[in-house]
Amino acid sequence: MTRIAFIGLGNMGSGMAANQAKAGHEVVAFDLSADALARAKEQGMSAAASAAEAVKDANVVITMLPAGSHVRDVYMDAILPNAPTDALLIDCSTIDVDSARTVARDASMRGFRAADAPVSGGTAAANAGSLTFMVGCREQDFAEIEEALKPMAKAIIRAGDSGTGQAAKICNNMLLGISMIGVSEAFALAEGLGLDGQKFFDIASQASGQCWSLTSYCPWPGPVPAAPSNRDYEGGFAAAMMLKDLKLAQDAADTTGAPTPLGGAAEALYSELVQRGYANKDFSAILQMLRGRL
């Protein structure tokens, strides 16, 4: 049995930690929220009084926190000074590449093995244990990291060395944001031209415009019954989360000098959607903004 310290029991972390407990591991959980800790206890985990206490005797430390600043603080103040140096450190949060590399470098300087392992898949996949992990770590550490992530995963892919898991995540989500806007623009134009939405779907899904945003997550209500467009754009992947990832991508593009004109335009459009008060709507609601309905 592995002793896992799990820090950050929010929308994603609570289900992920529960799956580690279900797999038979001893999970010592910590979150700033007392409610989250109470729920963890109900699910068979023990609750620590602090992050420092949670990591004290851990074999594996998993963090699932909001952003880079939280991860840097928890690593510097609690994990690196208190965890045993043979513990495996895995950060699953979506954060900027620089923070991921800083944390990994500081961990490695103190003798730890560390990985950035952000996820694809929302809360449903977190609860079901079917997330896809994109891992940045040393090649020789990957087998052990893969083993530690298995109870939470459908797929675990090593992207390369430290920071490349985060790089894969923000590049993928920039592509997703751009493709969702592209599909939405096409539906809005089809509507303006008097072309039926379902007919356009039937044709484009068999033609060269086909992509995941169209055929698995269609923003036009009807063609894909499971998509949030059929539930007034509730649930799914919030516009605010998409905006966070697009900002990370643009910051990274500024740092590296990579040209991302469409990524920049996508950030501006999602920023407008969020400013109009639709931060919690699914990101496919961008169609409704383009149609002038929001």
Q: Which residues bind ligand NAD (CB under 6 A)?
A: 7-13, 30-33, 36, 51, 64-66, 70, 74, 93-94, 119, 122-123, 237, 241, 244
Active site residue 169: yes
DSSP β-bridge partners for residue 7: 30, 63
Shorter beta-carbon distance to ligand NAD: residue 186 or 243: 243
Least separation in angstroms between residue 190's CB and ligand NAD is 29
Residues contacting 293, CB < 8 A, separation 6+: none
Whole-angstrom distance, CA of residue 137 vs CA of residue 141: 7
Least separation in angstroms between residue 119's CB and ligand NAD is 5
Shorter beta-carbon distance to ligand NAD: residue 119 or 190: 119
Shorter beta-carbon distance to ligand NAD: residue 36 or 115: 36
Query: The dihedral of CA 70, 241, 12, 163: what is its sign?
Result: negative
Of all residues in this chain, which one has the CB nearest to ligand NAD in the complex? 10
For the chain, what's the residue count? 294
Least separation in angstroms between residue 120's CB and ligand NAD is 7
Shorter beta-carbon distance to ligand NAD: residue 146 or 282: 282
Least separation in angstroms between residue 222's CB and ligand NAD is 24
Query: Which position among 22, 41, 56, 169 bears the catalytic label?
Result: 169
Least separation in angstroms between residue 77's CB and ligand NAD is 8
Least separation in angstroms between residue 133's CB and ligand NAD is 11
Shorter beta-carbon distance to ligand NAD: residue 30 or 270: 30
Structure tokens belonging to residue 277: 């008060």
Shorter beta-carbon distance to ligand NAD: residue 95 or 190: 95
Point out the residues that are catalytic.
169
